[in-house]
Structure 1
Amino acid sequence: MASGKSAVGEAFALSRGQKFVDTDRMIVALHGPIKGIFTSRGEAWFRGMEARMTAECLESDAYQVVSLGGGAILDSGTQQLLASTVVVFLSVDAKTVGPRLKRGSARPLLNGDTMDRWEELFQQRLPVYQRLADIVLDARRKSVSALVEELGLILTESGG
């Protein structure tokens, strides 16, 4: 959440001439703002839609870069699909995401004390992120272009 997945994913896809897909953007385009979905239909409905969109992207024959919402990895079906692709985890900390969240956020799970709630969610999800990740990039205080370059080098060295 607020790690820069969309910005890095989009820039990386562009650098490789690949298609970029952001599952949160897909959901918003079809159903409206995520905060509104949580209010009107609930988190469970959103998570189901998120899992379907993720499966649609990951089962596609297209070679593409896909950015998932921070909670998408909690779905067991999504975890199984991710096992057959390269998963990049952008590792961040509260100091890195704090300014991003202060700029305004329509993230429905960050009600109340935003940073405490972010830290709680991050710690809950971290073991799953680490288990699923093929590549971990330290995204603390690095630019999007530096992360794109680093990822490109790692994939080139590994034959990816």
Structure 2
Amino acid sequence: MLEALKRPVALIGPMAVGKSAVGQQLARQLGVRFVDTDVEVVARHGSIADIFAGRGESAFRELEARAVAQAVEEAAGSATVISLGGGAVLDSGTQQLLATCTVVYLECDADTVSERIARNSGRPLLAGDAMERWRVLFATRQPVYERLADVILDVRNGSVPDLADRLQDALEQQAAVRTGKAATPAATKKVEK
């Protein structure tokens, strides 16, 4: 467990980047709770595709914002790992709540996610040409991910356990810098490959 980490860790990034897999692995390694806000929405309200089809994207975004708020509030002051849906960061209230977390942006490119997207056609926002829709969404969201991030983890290479190890190291370094226990602060928030 990270002794110096007294804040929740929020994983952000585009669809299909591996937030859930890396988040679960990190939580296991740290022995802390893991919350996937998409799973929470589905558990309470049904599938995301059904919510989009029956109630629309704005209704889904409201449910998503509530799930994020509940997860962040319940995790306050603890080392909980929270995975957010790709578009959750677009909500201004969510952005404000993330200020209480250590925010990790899982950075990737279209090649990184193309196989996962091809296998999972159940993403409502990717109907039609899934990769073109992903690129458009990513282009609009990437600046928000970068602005909110305390740590940027490049996930283009490495297994899930390797990525979680690299992220754990980065979080330990970031926590040491924040508490003044690091010899020299990190020059950048990006975690190298």
- Shorter-chain TM-score tier: over 0.9
Q: 2:103 aligns with which of 62, 79, 87?
A: 87
Shift of residue 71, structure 1, vs aligned partner: 0.2
Aligned match for 1:25, one of 26, 36, 39:
39
1:6 aligns with 2:20: yes
Q: What is the count of residue pairs matched by the alignment?
A: 160
1:138 to 154, 161, 168: 154
| Matched ranges for 1:1-160 at <5 A | 1-60=15-74, 61=76, 62-159=78-175
Question: Which of the two has higher C-alpha Rg?
Answer: 2
Moved over 4 A (4+): none
Deviation readout 1:79-101 (Å, 9 max, x if unpaired): 00101210001001111100001
Structure 2 Cα separation of the partners of residues 22 and 7 of structure 1: 10
Amino acid at match of 1:117: R
Unaligned runs of 5+ in 1: none
Instruction: Measure how far apart 1:154 and its partner are.
Output: 1.1
Q: Distance in 2 between the 1:157 and 1:147 partners?
A: 15
Once residues 135 and 105 of structure 1 are traced to their aligned partners in structure 2, the CA distance between those partners, rounded to angstroms, is 30
Cα deviation code 1:130-154 (max 9, x no counterpart): 0000000100132111110101111
TM-score by length of structure 1 reads: 0.96
Q: Once the two structures are superposed, what CA deviation does each residue of 1:54-95 show, in whole Å capped at 9, x if it has no partner?
A: 001111145311000000000000000101210001001111
Ranges in structure 2 where 5+ consecutive residues have no aligned partner: 1-14, 177-193
The CA deviation at 1:3 is 0.5
CA distance in 1, matches of 2:135, 2:114: 10
Q: Give aligned-pair identity as a percent.
A: 54
